[in-house]
Amino acid sequence: MTVLNVYMKDAVLVAQFNREKPVNPLNRELQTAIVETCQFAESEPAVKAIVLTGGVRRSFCVGDDFREARARTQADVEELVDRVTWLCVAILSVTKPVVAGIDGYAIGGGLQIALCCDLRVGTKNTKVLGWELKHGIGYPVGAYMLEKSLGRAAMSDIIFGCEVVPADWAARYRLFHELANPSDVVEKAVSRAAVLATYPEVSYRRTKAAVNRSFVSGLKELMPIAKKIHVDCFLSGAADAHLAKVLRDGGRTSGKKHWNDHV
């Protein structure tokens, strides 16, 4: 079973996350496949735009696959920060249009992937969640990306609120640029991408590269700080109980049914 289904819709390359669990936890294989697909799309003349999606009636991505990503050493923590950051850099380095089609959950690394896209299409059922801080997990990269994309006040609502973001709030703050029916989210994202693909390439790609330059340089500058934050959180043991609970029972005691499919 491939972790990433890639196909063309006219000039738009659609990359659908395809983990066996419909919530699409992010593992090394999926990360590598996304990076390689972005690199291919950037260099392939036939590809004019990209759509990243979890698919129809599947979650976009609930973040790291805990069974694979749970840190046991300081080196594990630092390697995880490296992998997620370089995934974001790979997406941001694509100068062609990139649109996200988001249904279900977008959490942690999944939210960061969405923020790397030029436009985001969500649904009324989409649940964006940044709950890391209340569980003892640092989220400096996500906080940076949210502030860069939506502004400080909106970032604060998500990062410090630690609750599911209402769809109408997400649309008002441009976390979503469009709300679609769940059955149409991929089609709507492809339609948005197809429109952007009709723009003259030089103007679009040069402007996007210029805009994303500061985004990428900020991520690279943040990496050592993010590693220190995550290592300190790891050494404090603050997240141990939460991660153990997720791994033990799928988070059933937390009332988050989606974690049954995460592990």
pLDDT tens profile 105-123 = 999 999 999 999 999 999 9
Between CA 125 and CA 114 the distance in angstroms is 16
Strands (E), the chain: 4-9, 12-17, 49-53, 98-101, 105-107, 119-123, 127-129, 178-180
Helices (H) and strands (E) in the chain, counts: 10, 8
The rounded mean pLDDT for the chain is: 91
Structure tokens, 181: 């029916």
The pLDDT of 150-166, averaged and rounded, is 96
Convert 159-188 to b/e letters by CB count within 10 Å (16 or more is b).
Answer: beeeebbebeebbebebbbbbbebeebbbb
The pLDDT of 72-93, averaged and rounded, is 92
The per-residue pLDDT for range 192-218, each reduced to its tens digit, is 999 999 999 999 999 999 999 999 999
Convert 98-135 to b/e letters by CB count within 10 Å (16 or more is b).
Answer: bbbbbbbbbbbbbbbbbbbbbbbbbbebbbbbbbbbeb
The per-residue pLDDT for range 5-39, each reduced to its tens digit, is 999 999 999 999 999 999 999 999 999 999 999 99
| Residue 225 CB coordination number (10 Å) | 14
The pLDDT of 41-68, averaged and rounded, is 93
pLDDT-derived band at 237 (thresholds 50, 70, 90) equals confident
The pLDDT of 158-166, averaged and rounded, is 96
What one-character DSSP code corresponds to residue 117? S
Mean pLDDT lowest among 138-152, 215-229, 239-253: 239-253
3-state secondary structure 67-104: HHHCCCCHHHHHHHHHHHHHHHHHHHCCCCCEEEECCC
Structure tokens, 160: 């410090």
Identify the residue whose tokens are 């429109």: 195
pLDDT-derived band at 227 (thresholds 50, 70, 90) equals very high
Pair type for strands 12-17 and 4-9:
antiparallel
Between CA 193 and CA 253 the distance in angstroms is 40
Q: Please, what are the domains in the chain? A: 4-197 (3.90.226.10)
Identify the residue whose tokens are 């890391």: 132
Dihedral pair phi/psi, residue 99, rounded to 5°: -120, 140
This prediction's pTM = 0.92
First-residue to last-residue Cα distance in the chain: 18
User: Residue 52: left (phi > 0), alpha (psi -120 to 50), or beta?
Assistant: beta
- Give the CA diameter of the chain: 52
